[in-house]
Structure 1
Amino acid sequence: MNRNAHFFYALRLPMETKILLKEQCDRLKQQLHFGRWVHHEDYHITLAFLGNAEKSQLEQSAAYVQKALMDVSSFKLSINSLGVFGKKESPRIFWAGAANEDKLHEVRKLVYEACYQAQFKLESRPFSPHITLARKWKGENEFAKEKLVSIDPFAASPIQFSATEVVLYQTHLDREPKYESIQVFPFSE
């Protein structure tokens, strides 16, 4: 297993949803000056970041995730907000937020516990479901968070989609898109 490879479990977004997000990002890029915009094929909602891992540990986590998600059925989600993480004046992450849906939190808990059972050391911060759109503020002026309210396309017109699967991804820093699907865990209908 490549020592520089990182792995994570995420909720996959349907391609139609990724394209709608990309269209909004193409408009937002003209007003928000971030250093790197995420390739639309890489949009996802992270459930558990694993870092680098041995093949046997990944396989063990996959078996636990498979079992944990066995009875989960697909569910509706909506993307309804914009936000940032990091310093107020120069955020490091610009994101689109998913509505607070109990089923999403339940799926995250199942995946998180399965990975923990496989002996992964996991993020301990509270789960904040989001889709990273861009990284590293590069604007000439300080970032003005209040501007997000006036340009947020999702407040009035959320993007709705069906969550149908969790994916184990591998990160390839030298590629674009940079996330490769290693294993898929579909929900029941």
Structure 2
Amino acid sequence: MRLFIAIEIPDEIKEFLYQLIYLKTSLDGVSIVQKGNFHITLKFLGEVNEGLIPDITNTLRKISNGFSPFTLKITHPGVFPDKFKPRVIWIGTENTDSLKEMAKRIDEEMESLGFKREDKNFKSHITVARVKNFHNGKYLFEKILKKFSGESSQLKFQVEEFVLMKSTLTPKGSIYDVLQRFPLVK
């Protein structure tokens, strides 16, 4: 079972992001993420033996009990690895202290369960497109930059929980299902 830990995005933010990236024509070699799949990944676990799920959920419950709800702000569009050869187009969110600490704690606790620790610093973002054709990816990114305005960066939402998600790969894209919700209760 393929799993990851994430923060879900409210529907009104999903709609805003969809309108931001929407083009009337498709671009060869650019796969737009389905609106319903927009999220912030806190930790990708990969293929997980179902027998580990109780340990994972118990650990995540303990983590969520140590955090209070907090606000995240949409910041700006970006790409990985760079704007000349984009592989992923994303919309950033503010890297608040609460968010960074939550991601760090999840990473540390999941390592104690045998999952690989992240090598790089956590970068809060919402993936909106995956790119195989660099030229078209660069074109889409430039369109998004033009549409993104100061008003866009005033969008905020309240984080009141994180979730354990199951990802099923299909020829039409990934299907995400929430396995369990972990409310922030501190």
Scaled by the length of structure 1, the TM-score of the pair is: 0.84
1:74 equivalent to 2:35? Answer: no
1:181 to 159, 162, 178: 178
Opposite residue 44 of structure 2, the aligned amino acid is: F
Opposite residue 178 of structure 2, the aligned amino acid is: S
Q: In structure 2, what is the equivalent of residue 9 of structure 1?
A: 5
Q: In structure 2, what is the equivalent of residue 50 of structure 1?
A: 45
Q: Is the 8 A contact 1:61 1:114 kept in 2?
A: no
In 2 relative to 1, CA 165–141 (structure 1 residues): closer, same or farther, beyond 3 Å? closer
Distance 1:38 1:146 in 2: 14
Q: In structure 1, what is the equivalent of residue 120 of structure 2?
A: 125
Q: Indicate the RMSD between aligned Cα atoms, in angstroms.
A: 2.7
Shift of 1:24: 1.6
Q: Is the 8 A contact 1:78 1:98 kept in 2?
A: yes
Local SS of the residue matching 1:188: coil
1 or 2, which has the higher helix percentage? 2
1:21 to 17, 42, 60: 17
Q: In structure 1, what is the equivalent of residue 104 of structure 2?
A: 109
Distance 1:124 1:56 in 2: 26
Once the two structures are superposed, what CA deviation does each residue of 1:1-59 show, in whole Å capped at 9, x if it has no partner? xxxx3211011112222122112222xx3699461000111111111111101112232
For structure 2, list consecutive stretches of 5 or more residues without a partner in the other structure. Answer: none
Overall identity of the aligned pairs, in %: 29
Shifted more, 38-47 versus 131-140: the winner is 131-140
Opposite residue 131 of structure 1, the aligned amino acid is: I
1:171 equivalent to 2:163? Answer: no
Distance 1:81 1:140 in 2: 21
Shift of 1:87: 5.1
1:95 to 62, 66, 90: 90
